[in-house]
Amino acid sequence: MTQEDFEIFSKNLSHLDNQGQAQMVDVSGKASTVRKAVAAARVRMLPETFAAIQAGNAPKGDVLGTTRLAGIMAAKQTASLIPLCHPLPLQKIEVLVTPDPELPGYQIQATVKTKAETGVEMEALTAVSVAALTLYDMAKALEKSIQIESIRLISKTGGKSGDYSQSD
């Protein structure tokens, strides 16, 4: 690829400079708007593991409370974990861990909200990812084959790219 071809190509890639090096996008000229993102994940396990967690009989203690707290803490650390993410003032972080006997396992959902120049999709995705990893860690003494599945963005509002909602 010639330098001219690269410059034409890279104009559409906001995270590359003119030399093709990764860079943080300058959002200083953007307006602060309310932005919200919702992400989800599933954690699948054996029925016996699910029953033990539901009964509060996991060797490491409060699996679900620790899972929720880990998700909240993770959202707040996203800029430290994901290169090129902007540190954001998060106004709301909610992590729900819902039992799903049909899996069997748990549905995890995180909602993150801010008023800023850039969105919070990565914060919501980081929250559910770390929450799912924490659930695994808290229950691995019961079962090593627990599966973390379907980490995904459910919806987002605000920003230049507009709203998004996952289609079923």
Top CATH class of 47-157 equals alpha beta
The three-state secondary structure class of 158 is: coil
Residue-averaged pLDDT of the chain: 89
Residue 142 labelled as part of a binding site: no
Residue 46 labelled as part of a binding site: no
Is pLDDT of 60 > 70?
A: yes
6 CB burial (10 A radius; 0-12, 13-18, 19+): middle
Quote the pTM value.
Answer: 0.85
Residue 111 CA to residue 48 CA, distance in Å, equals 30
What is the per-residue pLDDT across 29-42, written as a single tens digit (0 to 9) for each? 667 889 999 999 99
Residue ranges per structural domain of the chain: 47-157
Residue 70 CA to residue 25 CA, distance in Å, equals 28
pLDDT value for 161: 82
Give the residue numbers marked as catalytic.
137
Residue 86 labelled as part of a binding site: yes
